[in-house]
Amino acid sequence: MHLTVDKWTVCDLTLSPAKVDLLWKVIRRHQTLFSDLTRNDPDNFLRALTAPHTIWLEVRERDVLVGIIWFGELHQIVDVNAHMAFFDRMSHAKIEVCRAVVKWMFHNFPINRMSVSPPRIYTATIRLMHKLGFTEEGVKRQSILIHGKWHDQILFGITRDEAEAM
């Protein structure tokens, strides 16, 4: 995958020991980026990176890695789980990049819908989902552990028809 939108490039995340080390260092700087189960366990993070039925993409602004987007459970044609993390905390500036990636996924895979479940404390991601046209579908109560505290996740979804109309 290779996609350019404005000053951002999205491409497949190619794993090497150096890339895994870089991602781990970047992620560790963001205290709420992952749950307690991943943030404090590099082996668990590596398992997530290498999980089957998963696509990891890197988002670069010029030559700087500014985020990652990954899709899990691709073996299910019904619903794919999407995750978007921007290390520069500028997700609002990347609406068109995210929109292009969502459309690319629906164009290249036989999926019917996509789900995103950000913790309620991820207010920027929640705003991004609304701006992208995802529908807020519900709340998964106390479903993610961040800094020893359970947080709700907001469930968002978008169907193939809705994504095509974006």
pLDDT (0 to 100) of residue 26: 84
The predicted structure's pLDDT at residue 131:
94
The answer to whether the CB of 122 falls within 8 A of the CB of 151 is no
Choose among 40, 7, 160, 10: nearest CA to 100. Answer: 10
All structural domains of the chain? 2-164 (3.40.630.30)
State the CB neighbour count (10 A cutoff) for residue 121.
Answer: 15
Helices (H) and strands (E) in the chain, counts: 6, 8
Q: Are 8 and 60 within 8 A, CB to CB?
A: yes
Please state, in angstroms and rounded to a whole number, the distance separating the CA atoms of residues 99 and 75.
22
Q: What is the pLDDT of residues 89-114, one digit of tens each?
A: 777 778 999 999 999 999 999 999 99
pLDDT of residue 117: 94
Kindly report the pTM of this predicted structure.
0.85
Residue 100 corresponds to which tokens in the numbers above?
């292009």
